[in-house]
Amino acid sequence: MARKYNWKTGCDVEATLSVIGGRWKPVLLCHLLGGKKRFGELCRLVPNATERMITLQLRELEADGVLARHVYAEVPPRVEYEITEYGRSLEAILNSMQAWGRDFKARRLAAEGQGV
């Protein structure tokens, strides 16, 4: 995928975000940390994303070497996705994002409960 990022002079955080940035990529990756998933299963796990958006996000992650796509010659065709060994290096980042989000949600819910 064509991205507007200068690999020679760009910021390192920007490089990370060029791979995992987007609304659905981190969500898909978190689901895939648990193991292989079929496309339909991912669609059910992320119901707010369209199939087209999930497809685009999966293709970009595959192009970056973070995901592996396995197509089985069956009728109907079966496609599974899994995180590559290199993609596993994102696990700590994703777990940190998940923990931060859990804390943020708890703070927001507590603030709403107090009428703030």
Helix, strand, coil in percent for the chain, rounding step 5: 55, 10, 35
Dig out the tokens for 89 from the structure: 């290096």
Mean pLDDT of 10-22: 86
- Cβ-based neighbours of 51, under 8 Å, separated by 6 or more: 43
Reported confidence tier of residue 116, pLDDT bands at 50, 70, 90: low
pLDDT at residue 35 in the model: 95
pLDDT at residue 11 in the model: 84
Mean pLDDT of 21-28: 94
pLDDT at residue 115 in the model: 62
Domains of the chain: 12-113 (1.10.10.10)
